[in-house]
Chains A and B, each alone.
Chain A
Amino acid sequence: MKIVNNYSRFLAHHPWTILLVGLLLTGLFIYGATLVQMESIDYSKAIPSNYKEIKAFNFIKDEFGTTGSALTFVIRLDEENGESEINDIRDVKVLNYINLISEKSKKISGISSVSSLSTLLKSDNAGILPKSNEKIVELINNAKVINPQTIDVVNSLNQTSGGINQINTSLNQTTGGLTQISQGVDASSKGVAQISVVLEKISSALGQEQDFSSINQLVLLTTQLDSLIDASVNPLDPNYTNMKRSVAIIKAGLEQTYMGLEESSAGLKTTSNILDQSSTALDKISTGLNQANDGTKQIIQYNEKMSLGLMNINQGLNGISQYISFTSAEYTPGKKTIINQYPGYLSTDYSTTIIRLNLDSMSKTEEIELVNELDQILNETVVPNGITSGYTGSIKLSEEMQNSIGPTMTSTSIISIALILIIVSILFFSLRKGIISLFAIIFGTIWTFGIMGLTGSPINSIMSGALSMIMGIGIDFGIQIVNRFNQEKLKNNTEEAMINTIKNTWSQMLITTLAALIGFRAMSMGEITIIADLGNMMGLGVLSCYLIAMTIIPAILVLNDKITLENIRKIVHQDKSDNTTNVKQKNKKVKLKK
């Protein structure tokens, strides 16, 4: 192809240009490689969700309230610790430790519920953690047994129902009484209010200022009459004395009356004040009675609701009673039911106990935070001597998988490079040529990671081995180019050898690259797509190695050929011989001058 011919000629004569462009791109991809993210595999997405088994499983998970996600703390006897006092997990120190872990875990966001030996024991011991080993053992051994044969269910239900009826009747009576009280209080409140109004009016009336000026005027009149009598009646007149006495009596009486009225006026004011105070007090009583009435009405409402609730309970009990009566005119009791949840949290040899943490749905970031918080709890909570504790679960495993990606890649890559270098060095009988062919995979992996980082493609644990595989596959391109160049060098100069190398290898290597890409792409054509990302990364790696083999490797080979030690020696030798010639010529000139 003409374009290939032109390219090969350009490369052969301008290797530095090609190398520079390649190195610049490599620099960009080195930056891209720093952006690569690691993530864990989500096995729940391994199988497509359109299969009936998966649909049913997801339906059950959503509809029956199970998140499907849980972690388990495992606390067990430390068998290697021979000096420990704890030789049975049913120990109060262990229980306290379990309780501490449980309580701390409950506070973590993302944990929907925590169940453990301590929660069970507390529920069986009125909310209190047992304080002795004997009590712990006793509670665990006391399984709850519900045996219908020992319970006359129908009678019990009827008695309960009767009792509830009686409570309901009492409540109704109480309600009636309270209603009457409420009415009475209401009436009293109104009456008191009315009395208060009347008193206020009386008080107002009594408090008015009395006008005694008319009496004063009468007193003045009597004084004037007295004076008139003195003026008009002879003192010797037998009526003079009577008249004077009468006037004096009237005046005295009027004065006393005036005084009395003044005193009573003061008294009325006092009475008015007292009546004011009484009115105020009565207002307060009225307010209080209103409040009492309100309170009574609320109690009535509560009673009505309680009554309704009791009626519903009664109906339920009647239903059960009827059912039992239905099913057995000859009542046949069912199986004995034993409720004992302890075996789910305590191993049969009493060496291990577990704490179950049920989890809400959460993102990957939240899962990592949860794991970190649980690790912190585990580290900061003092473990009793003689036991060991840890936790496990899908989220913890997922985190470990994610953390293993980097080290896995590093170790497999190092081993891969070492093995490959040994093989190619033997193949070419030359370490230098082996290293040059290795450039295909070194640059190829940088380009692969760089492109993945720049495109935001993450790496999961299945892909952790991809780097090693890319190296194993990509080295072929380096070997082919170096091998063919060596063969062409036997017949041609450096530039011609490289032109022939590219012309004779590009199509074969392209076909093999395409075949590899097809194989990798086909991996994502099945129903299980979890390895599709691996195929994509492998395809990218192989393509990168091919491009390196067509660009950077040939450029390095050409430059390597031109800048060999022999050439350097030749150049140095050429310089020396030039200098010797120059010195000889100088000496000759000097001699001639002389």
Chain B
Amino acid sequence: MLGNEIMNFFEMIADAQIKNAYILGLIAILLTIVIGLGIQHIYLQTDTSADNPKDWDVVKLEDYVSEKFGGTDTIIILIELDKDLFYSNSPTDIRDKDVLNTVYDLSKELEKEDKISSVQSAGMLFETIGGIPENNDSIISIINAFPEAKAFFNKNNSATAIFVSAQLGNEADKINFSKRLTEIINSIKKPSGLKITSSGTPEIQILLGDLIRHDLVVTSGIAAGIIFLLVILFKRNLKDAILIFTPLIFGLVWMLGIMGWLGIPLSIATVGVSAMILGLGTEYGIFLVERYEEEKKKGFKVDKALRQSLPAIGIGITGSGLTTTAGFVALLFTTLPMIQNLGKILSLGILCILIATILVTPIFIVIDERITEFLKEKARGMQ
């Protein structure tokens, strides 16, 4: 009885799609555009500590220590002798007065920034004892006399570091700060033969964000391209391949858009989820198109073929989609936030592709058949 109810439901959907193909197609496209706007709001989770379970004692303790002892962002600016940029008047020892003046100037400029709470460098240390001497030998004598100064230089005196503590906030703030830092570094007068690089947790998190965006596009693109080729080889027909690929495109855009609107973050653990969804969702389109063509081969017209194929395959792919979703939903019950997010995104993705297969693909099958029929009639008419 339930089976008949479900069959009737799918038949009803097929009827609606046959009768209102063009309008429903337009609605589907507009809906996809609206949902797709959410993609720009996708939040990138670049702080790997956020993937730690908050109810674990070790994590609670870590957060407690940060709260009590002040968690800050640490940026390290590395100034090193660069052999590639070496000229005759370039310093050969980092403990050079011109280098230290650069360090000092950079440190003072950084101190002026609001978000920076402290700057520690060799230049600032010399400030406490009156300034940087003009004579390099005096500089070396003073550094040797003060053990605290040696912490700012590496073992072979080819590099020095500026340690900056700041409270930077979210990713947007970090990106803005990174740009500001680059501006400051570029504005400081420095001798030739020096290379200045900034690093530290914020810089690495910004890099991670860029890589996540890059990988999302690359992995999805590679997966989509190879799967599309595979489907073309399987079907030996470009039109069928496009029809099979249609629910994947719609489903993927819906998934990413909903993630953006709901604030579900993308992280290093979930960056490849698009590629996974493309791989897993391909079968729904294949089963539907194959079954439709089987019915067409029996001599049925478009509407009859669709009314036969959608209910017959609909139950199967719905069951398949639900079981796959069940496997992913089970991940929501883990203690690890990154696995929970993986489960959320994968469940959402599979459901989106399933819905797109059942609701959108038949619409485009009907539209395609009508356009083909129209062109055939026009060609006959011309003949």
Q: Which chain A positions have C-beta within 8 A of B114?
A: none
Q: Does A316 contact B (CB under 8 A)?
A: yes
Q: Does B234 contact A (CB under 8 A)?
A: yes
Q: Does B27 contact A (CB under 8 A)?
A: no
Q: Which chain B positions have C-beta within 8 A of A473?
A: 280, 324, 327
Q: Does A100 contact B (CB under 8 A)?
A: no
Residue in B closest to A389 when the chains form the complex, CB atoms: B61
- The 0/1 profile, CB within 8 Å of B marked 1, for residues 47-64 of chain A is 100011111110110011
- Bound-state CA distance A328–B203 (Å) is 41
Take A56-B199, A334-B129 as given contacts and tell me if A522 and B272 are in contact as well, using a CB distance cutoff of 8 Å: yes
Q: Does B269 contact A (CB under 8 A)?
A: yes
Q: Which chain B positions have C-beta within 8 A of A47?
A: 204, 207-208, 211
Take A397-B58, A526-B218 as given contacts and tell me if A59 and B159 are in contact as well, using a CB distance cutoff of 8 Å: yes
Q: Does A531 contact B (CB under 8 A)?
A: yes
The contact of B138 among A319, A335, A470, by CB within 8 Å, is A319
Are B331 and A469 neighbours in the complex by a CB distance under 8 Å? Answer: yes
Are B330 and A412 neighbours in the complex by a CB distance under 8 Å? Answer: yes
- Bound-state CA distance A88–B220 (Å) is 57
Q: Does A516 contact B (CB under 8 A)?
A: yes
Take A475-B324, A479-B323, A519-B278 as given contacts and tell me if A512 and B283 are in contact as well, using a CB distance cutoff of 8 Å: yes
Are B336 and A319 neighbours in the complex by a CB distance under 8 Å? Answer: no
Q: Which chain B positions have C-beta within 8 A of A148?
A: 129-130
* Residue with the highest number of chain A CB atoms closer than 10 Å, among B57, B62, B135, B283: B283
Are B275 and A520 neighbours in the complex by a CB distance under 8 Å? Answer: yes
- Bound-state CA distance A475–B325 (Å) is 11
The contact of A57 among B76, B131, B208, B324, by CB within 8 Å, is B76
Interface residues of B in 233-250 (CB under 8 A from A): 234
A387 → B minimal CB distance (Å): 14
Interface residues of B in 252-272 (CB under 8 A from A): 268-269, 271-272
Q: Does B88 contact A (CB under 8 A)?
A: no
A408 → B minimal CB distance (Å): 5
Stretch of A19-27, A213-221, A459-467, A561-569 at the chain-chain interface: A459-467
- Bound-state CA distance A582–B18 (Å) is 66
Take A334-B129, A416-B326, A483-B316 as given contacts and tell me if A526 and B283 are in contact as well, using a CB distance cutoff of 8 Å: no
Are A530 and B145 neighbours in the complex by a CB distance under 8 Å? Answer: no
The contact of B59 among A76, A397, A426, A472, by CB within 8 Å, is A397
- Bound-state CA distance A297–B324 (Å) is 90
Stretch of A133-141, A194-202, A360-368, A417-425 at the chain-chain interface: A417-425
Q: Which chain B positions have C-beta within 8 A of A55?
A: 197
The contact of A327 among B131, B280, B331, by CB within 8 Å, is B131
Q: Does A347 contact B (CB under 8 A)?
A: yes
The SS class assigned to the B binding surface is helix
Take A60-B76, A416-B326 as given contacts and tell me if A519 and B339 are in contact as well, using a CB distance cutoff of 8 Å: no
Interface residues of B in 156-211 (CB under 8 A from A): 159, 161, 197-200, 203-204, 207-208, 211
- Bound-state CA distance A351–B80 (Å) is 42
Q: Which chain B positions have C-beta within 8 A of A475?
A: 320, 323-324, 327
Are A519 and B227 neighbours in the complex by a CB distance under 8 Å? Answer: yes
The contact of B277 among A43, A519, A526, by CB within 8 Å, is A519
Stretch of B7-15, B64-72, B357-365 at the chain-chain interface: B64-72
Q: Which chain A positions have C-beta within 8 A of B226?
A: 518, 522
Q: Does A143 contact B (CB under 8 A)?
A: no
Q: Does B35 contact A (CB under 8 A)?
A: no
Are A328 and B130 neighbours in the complex by a CB distance under 8 Å? Answer: yes
Q: Which chain A positions have C-beta within 8 A of B142?
A: 319-320, 323
- Bound-state CA distance A54–B275 (Å) is 27
- Bound-state CA distance A547–B52 (Å) is 37
Q: How many residues of A contact B (CB 8 A)?
A: 97
Residue in A closest to B1 when the chains form the complex, CB atoms: A429
Q: Which chain B positions have C-beta within 8 A of A323?
A: 130, 133, 138, 141-142
Are A420 and B319 neighbours in the complex by a CB distance under 8 Å? Answer: no
* Residue with the highest number of chain A CB atoms closer than 10 Å, among B3, B159, B322, B323: B323
Q: Does B56 contact A (CB under 8 A)?
A: yes
Q: Does A128 contact B (CB under 8 A)?
A: no
B171 → A minimal CB distance (Å): 15
- Bound-state CA distance A518–B329 (Å) is 23
Are A427 and B315 neighbours in the complex by a CB distance under 8 Å? Answer: yes
Take A427-B319, A525-B222 as given contacts and tell me if A60 and B78 are in contact as well, using a CB distance cutoff of 8 Å: yes
Q: Does A333 contact B (CB under 8 A)?
A: yes
Take A316-B144, A526-B218 as given contacts and tell me if A476 and B320 are in contact as well, using a CB distance cutoff of 8 Å: yes
Are B215 and A63 neighbours in the complex by a CB distance under 8 Å? Answer: no
Q: Which chain A positions have C-beta within 8 A of B133?
A: 323, 326-327
Residue positions of A touching B, CB distance < 8 A: 43, 46-47, 51-57, 59-60, 63-64, 72, 74, 76, 148, 316, 319-320, 322-324, 326-328, 332-335, 337, 344, 347, 351-352, 354, 390-393, 396-397, 400-401, 404, 408, 411-413, 415-416, 419-420, 423-424, 426-427, 429, 461-462, 464-465, 468-473, 475-476, 479-480, 483, 507-508, 511-512, 514-520, 522-528, 530-531, 534-535, 538
Residue positions of B touching A, CB distance < 8 A: 2-3, 48, 52, 56-59, 61-62, 64-65, 68-69, 76, 78, 80, 127-131, 133-135, 137-138, 141-142, 144-145, 151, 154-155, 159, 161, 197-200, 203-204, 207-208, 211-212, 214-215, 218-220, 222-223, 226-227, 230-231, 234, 268-269, 271-272, 275-280, 282-283, 286-287, 290, 315-316, 319-320, 322-331, 333-336, 338-339, 342-343, 346
Since A46-B208, A326-B135, A476-B320 are in contact, a sample of 7 more A-B pairs with Cβ atoms closer than 8 Å, ordered by chain A residue number, is A47-B208, A54-B207, A74-B65, A334-B128, A415-B329, A424-B323, A464-B336
